[in-house]
Amino acid sequence: MLLSFKTGLLAAGIALCAVGGAASEPTRPAEGLSLLNLDQSLYASLDPQAAKSHKVVKDENDWTISRKYGITVQELHAANPGVEWRKLQIGQKLNLPGGSEDTTSIPKIETAKVKVKTNGVNVRKEPSTNSGVRTTVDKGTVATVLDRQGAWYELRFPKGTVGWIRGDLLIAADGSSGTSKPAAPVNADKATSIIDSAKDMLGVRYKWGGNSRGGIDCSGLTTLVFSKNGIRLPRTSIEQSKIGSRVNKEDLQAGDLLFFITGRSSSRINHVGLYIGEGKFIHASSYKGRVIVTSLSDYGGGYAGARRVPGLQIAEVEKAVVAPAAEKVEPKTAEELFPSRVVIGADKTGK
């Protein structure tokens, strides 16, 4: 077979797949080398004419553009030094990292659980083929969907590992709980009250295991401010990540909980913050040593999804308001109050 490449494109050290060879990760052309195509990111780096660009349209930001091309916000920023991301203009031209492609054509999976389609699939730290690999999973592995960015799905695996796989390597899991219902909108008044409680904690020092103004950690902060507003949460970030309704990043509303994987050696959720709108969240930062507000696009921790907790969604709040109070029934006798005990000094009338 004759293989044709652009003159001057080959260089020492470039690896080509041989006929019948097996790739280390099942991929589509944009994600790895194929028989007739070099890796697109390598092609773009060697041939400036192959580099791609994107023209900004109405209501786009760095998040939506990154999701469209299956890259991280950090990669987009790195390809466009000097761009003021809060002041994007319609028609503004942005550079895209080599190998970027529009992934919006990959079919969406709407079930709460998914199954890996083939063996040797890499679980990425971020929704990008340029991201590091957390682990590798095989065909049939079932995982819970935490988030979706473009064609990428953030998944939690049975042993707690969290990472990203592209949608064309996944199928809906057999026996899944059906279509994942979108979270009901947030009750704005309730969310505002919770956020105000959190802002009142700004500057409080970080203390692992703390849950008061004397010192507080990330999950202690969320537990405290929700409790002040009548909503009980589990104490740890990983337990909080399992309650309520999953929320995609593009659908975030003020009051949602955000989850992260921090630390190079960690593969599990270990940090939580409260989304306050406009791409920002409030959290107890061990790195800064206090409760602060941080921009999602600037935060160094690996974003691991969002949840809208029970009691904050409009339908649940309204239900709690209109639900009739349960009828209070007073026991008439001691035997009714303690049916399995002998009550000394009382006759059958309870006197």
Q: Structural domain tally of the chain?
A: 3
**In this structure, is residue 36 part of a structural domain?**
no
- The catalytic residue positions are 218, 271, 283
Residues 144 and 210 in one domain: no
Burial of 73 per CB tally in 10 Å (0-12, 13-18, 19+): buried
Counting DSSP H helices and E strands in the chain, the numbers are: 8, 17
Residue 105's pLDDT is what? 64
pLDDT of residue 102: 60
The answer to whether residue 346 is domain-embedded is no
User: Which of 96, 128, 153 is the C-terminal boundary of a domain?
Assistant: 96
Structure-token pair, residue 98: 């080599």
Sign of CA dihedral 286, 288, 289, 292: negative
Beta bridge partners of 163: 155
Check residue 265 and give its pLDDT.
62
Q: State pLDDT tens for residues 146-203.
A: 888 778 898 989 888 889 999 999 999 865 544 456 678 889 999 999 999 999 999 9
Q: Note whether 197 and 160 are same-domain residues.
A: no
**Domain that residue 92 falls in:** 51-96
Q: How confident is the model at residue 320 (pLDDT cuts 50, 70, 90)?
A: very low
Task: Report which of 74, 65, 70 is spatially closest to residue 93, judged by C-alpha positions.
Answer: 65
Do 172 and 107 touch, CB atoms closer than 8 A? no
CATH number, domain with residue 278: 3.90.1720.10
Structure tokens at 345: 């000094």
pLDDT of residue 175: 57
